[in-house]
Structure 1
């Protein structure tokens, strides 16, 4: 765009300079011819010198005028380039903002869809199963109420203009979060094996629920129908941590995807997902002062570490955070 504008500006100014120079030169040349051919030229013994002198003045004046016009064209070109660069920069930042907004909407819709799927499966199970014992029915109804309230908070935060899910520094009952999500996924046909740990994490219950839900979804889609969830305490470099491991017996993550598995939009060739959940889950874990990684091993195991809400308590395993690839059996 800048080049085309410069061509138009440059051609206009240089055309004007050329026309002006030519007109001045021809005009003065005609005047000199008239003077030299006039009756009083005989009084000037050096008419030729006069011709050369005046011609030099005309040429110098014309060149100076042309140089001024070219300089003006260059200044205009620079101003046009600067204006276009500023406009392009503004457009670029607008596009980045629009992309982030779109990603936020897709991330929220991803979690809304997943949560509703669990509630729907539970409601269908309650309606169609005549062999479900009363205790199980109460547990399912309690889970549905809890998940719907979480969904309501998620939608309310999104409508309120929040760019990301709030991760208030509260106390999270990890077993309770996993128990509710396990019921939702079991209603969809996935067996979730989890042993109580009495672990308390520091962070947001809704954020922890979204992280675990993403990992359970991932295991259900790519595993063999059974998911193991193990929770333990660990003393990391930043203090006591709660470690959540979600494992399945699926085919595993392809080697060429292991380094990019947490990038937005990354998914396997046979995956029906959107490649959103793991990216969102890692960001939530990091915002709470934790992490999410893919462990090395025969099983597909994702490891979540979160700050513990218990500063002093029972003996915990001492280990440098993020260096162990051991899988804790559920």
Structure 2
């Protein structure tokens, strides 16, 4: 036998009390939200408005009496409350997406800066290593061969002094780049005596076993002396590693330009990498290098308004041609960009 539980009768007075309790609870909740520090004031304000609208709509529907007008007003207030919540949720989602996009952009910028810094460090180590090798060779020769004529010893000592000074400028340039965060800005080129710089670099590479055929021409060009020295050093180092132990280095006058050619007797540049030989990190599979030098050399030549190209292969070996202006042209600050 089943029993049926009759619902407790709710009179108008009790219904009013219940609805008043709901309103009071809504007001208390609103007060708590207003004083909450875990939510932004923007979100707290909208939550309070939505909560109060829902409470008033509920009170009007149950207490203020029946009728279509009352029901319509309660419905409008409920929809307003829902609309406030929807707009708030949309705004919060949009803000979250914008914040995420900013974080992603900042990460990309940080990664780009890190890549540039790593490239600068690798390029610096590349040039420092080659410079130190030349200094070491000259120092070892002076220490091992006590029978060197005085003039020969003085020339080697002068070579060491000049390369040490260039090494110090390289390190100072790097320190300046770290301080400014934008890279060192070199002074405008005052002009370079090609013979003076090429002679000491040719001597350095001859000490390390490279046969260099070179004849002074008495030419000058508009370039930073250290940049020009680095370009010639890279070309000779590239020829020493890949060129069969011999290289012809020459310069000629071509109207407003000085043209420097460096030709070796090696196997030449692999066709697979020929078109990308000046890109950073590009090298043949059998190359002992890192693929950095030629890209650095081209950038340095371009900074003084010139260009560096790989000549068409017409004989065994590879020929690199650098054109440098005789007079100051458009010059780009050495930012490593």
Pairwise same-fold verdict (TM > 0.5): yes
8 Å Cα contact 1:189-1:225 kept in structure 2: yes
Which residue is equivalent to 1:328? none
Partner SS, residue 193 of structure 1: strand
Question: What is the CA RMSD across the aligned residues, in angstroms?
Answer: 3.1
Q: State the TM-score, normalized to the length of structure 1.
A: 0.74
Unpaired runs of at least 5, structure 2: 1-46, 329-337
8 Å Cα contact 1:167-1:288 kept in structure 2: no
Deviates more, 1:283-292 or 1:264-273: 264-273
Which residue is equivalent to 2:252? 232
8 Å Cα contact 1:167-1:207 kept in structure 2: no
Partner SS, residue 271 of structure 1: coil
Q: Which of 221, 226, 229 lines up with 1:201 in the alignment?
A: 221
Unpaired runs of at least 5, structure 1: 1-14, 36-49, 311-330
8 Å Cα contact 2:50-2:85 kept in structure 1: no
Q: Which of 80, 84, 96 lines up with 2:100 in the alignment?
A: 84
CA distance in 2, matches of 1:96, 1:206: 27
Q: How many equivalent residue pairs?
A: 280
Deviates more, 1:19-28 or 1:127-136: 19-28
Which residue is equivalent to 1:255? 271
Q: State the TM-score, normalized to the length of structure 2.
A: 0.73
Q: Does 1:62 find its partner at 2:78? A: yes
The Cα offsets for residues 10-41 of structure 1, whole Å up to 9 and x where unpaired, read as xxxxx999999998887766659xx7xxxxxx
Stretches of 4+ aligned residues off by more than 6 angstroms? 15-29
Partner SS, residue 170 of structure 1: coil
The Cα offsets for residues 131-184 of structure 1, whole Å up to 9 and x where unpaired, read as 655443333222112111211222222223472472531121111211100111
After superposition, residues 140-289 of structure 1 pair within 5 angstroms as 140-161=156-177, 163-164=183-184, 166=186, 168-235=188-255, 240-289=256-305
The Cα offsets for residues 181-218 of structure 1, whole Å up to 9 and x where unpaired, read as 01111111111110111111112221110000011111
CA distance in 2, matches of 1:76, 1:99: 34
8 Å Cα contact 1:292-1:302 kept in structure 2: yes
Shift of 1:108: 1.8
Partner SS, residue 302 of structure 1: strand
Q: Does 1:295 find its partner at 2:311? A: yes
